[in-house]
């Protein structure tokens, strides 16, 4: 599969997914990008360092969206989308424009993230996101900082990021996204019930993800 061209846009369930970067400040113990060698259900997501321009993403997306029905467009991929905030915002803004023109039947725009976007971008990115994204799914994964560090294995700069992830969730809830989800991957050693409690205290909807479904 690694010999096939890398996908910027791929389908999964009723969603059209965007792979805009492979970079991520975490190295989660459960991340399937290493387990599955950058393949996702037959899609090669290995950009090999050639991250697509915003224009290339929009062109690939337009082509894919016209092919078959879909319910949502999801920024996910094998990497952290907020590493490329400008591209994310430009593409999401373009999608909102298409929605306003009714170019495609109504759909939702979702961001799957590790919740470190404010740290990555050295600013509060929530006000920009809420203008163009409908739903945010944040990978919370642990009920305490120590377990979080052990599971997501962040780069040294992000070692203390656990509280920032919770703050990001809270801030998304306050900003008024249609839906804010905080997830925990099952069978990693974290306590899902305790993670649920923290997610709900922050105002998010809790989601327990299966072990082999896990990027972010």
| Choices 25-33, 40-48, 56-64, 160-168 (CB under 6 A): range interacting with ligand SF4 | 25-33
DSSP for residue 93: H
User: Is 20 among the residues that bind ligand SF4 (CB under 6 A)?
Assistant: no
Residues 21-38 as b/e (b if ≥16 CB within 10 A, e otherwise) read bbebbbebebbbbeeeeb
Tokens read off for 115: 């919740």
User: Is 114 among the residues that bind ligand SF4 (CB under 6 A)?
Assistant: yes
Instruction: Compute how many other C-beta atoms are within 10 angstroms of the C-beta atom of residue 155.
Output: 12
Number of amino acids touching ligand SF4 (CB under 6 A)? 14
Residue 147 C-beta: closest distance to ligand SF4, Å: 14
Beta strands in 24-140 (DSSP E): 39-40, 43-44, 72-75, 108-113, 135-139
User: Is 51 among the residues that bind ligand SF4 (CB under 6 A)?
Assistant: no
* CB-count exposure of residue 45 (10 Å: 0-12, 13-18, 19+): buried
> For residues 33 and 196, which CB has a smaller minimum distance to ligand SF4 in the complex?
33
Residue 98 C-beta: closest distance to ligand SF4, Å: 27
The span from the CA of 168 to the CA of 107, in Å, is 24
Instruction: Compute how many other C-beta atoms are within 10 angstroms of the C-beta atom of residue 83.
Output: 21
The span from the CA of 208 to the CA of 206, in Å, is 7
| Choices 19-27, 65-73, 159-167, 205-213 (CB under 6 A): range interacting with ligand SF4 | 19-27
> For residues 65 and 115, which CB has a smaller minimum distance to ligand SF4 in the complex?
115
Which residue from 9, 80, 125, 158 is in contact with ligand SF4, where contact means CB under 6 A? 80
DSSP for residue 134: S
User: Is 215 among the residues that bind ligand SF4 (CB under 6 A)?
Assistant: yes
Which residue from 20, 44, 79, 84 is in contact with ligand SF4, where contact means CB under 6 A? 79
User: Is 212 among the residues that bind ligand SF4 (CB under 6 A)?
Assistant: no
Cα–Cα distance list, 152 to 5, 46, 49, 68, 144 (Å): 29, 20, 22, 35, 12
Residue 16 C-beta: closest distance to ligand SF4, Å: 19
User: Is 84 among the residues that bind ligand SF4 (CB under 6 A)?
Assistant: no
User: Is 134 among the residues that bind ligand SF4 (CB under 6 A)?
Assistant: no
> For residues 33 and 110, which CB has a smaller minimum distance to ligand SF4 in the complex?
33
Binding-site ranges for ligand SF4 (CB under 6 A): 24, 26-28, 31, 33, 79-80, 114, 139, 152, 214-216
């Amino acid at each position: 599969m690694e010999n096939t061209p890398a996908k910027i846009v791929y389908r999964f369930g009723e969603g059209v997914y965007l792979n805009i970067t492979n970079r991520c400040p975490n190295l989660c113990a459960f991340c399937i990008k290493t387990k599955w060698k950058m393949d996702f259900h037959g899609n090669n997501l290995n950009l090999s360092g050639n991250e697509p321009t915003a224009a290339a993403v929009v062109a690939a997306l337009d082509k894919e969206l016209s092919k078959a029905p879909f319910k949502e467009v999801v920024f996910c991929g094998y990497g952290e989308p907020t590493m490329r905030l400008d591209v994310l915002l430009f593409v999401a803004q373009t999608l909102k424009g298409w929605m306003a023109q009714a170019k495609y039947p109504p759909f939702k725009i979702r961001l799957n993230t590790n919740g470190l976007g404010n740290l990555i971008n050295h600013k509060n990115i929530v006000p920009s996101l809420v203008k163009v994204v409908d739903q945010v799914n944040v990978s919370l994964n642990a009920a305490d900082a120590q377990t979080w560090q052990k599971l997501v294995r962040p780069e040294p700069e992000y070692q203390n990021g656990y509280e920032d992830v919770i703050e990001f969730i809270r801030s998304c809830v306050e900003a008024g996204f249609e839906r804010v989800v905080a997830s925990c991957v099952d069978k990693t050693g974290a306590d899902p019930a305790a993670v649920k409690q923290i997610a709900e205290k922050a105002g998010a909807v809790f989601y327990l993800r299966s072990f082999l479904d896990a990027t972010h």
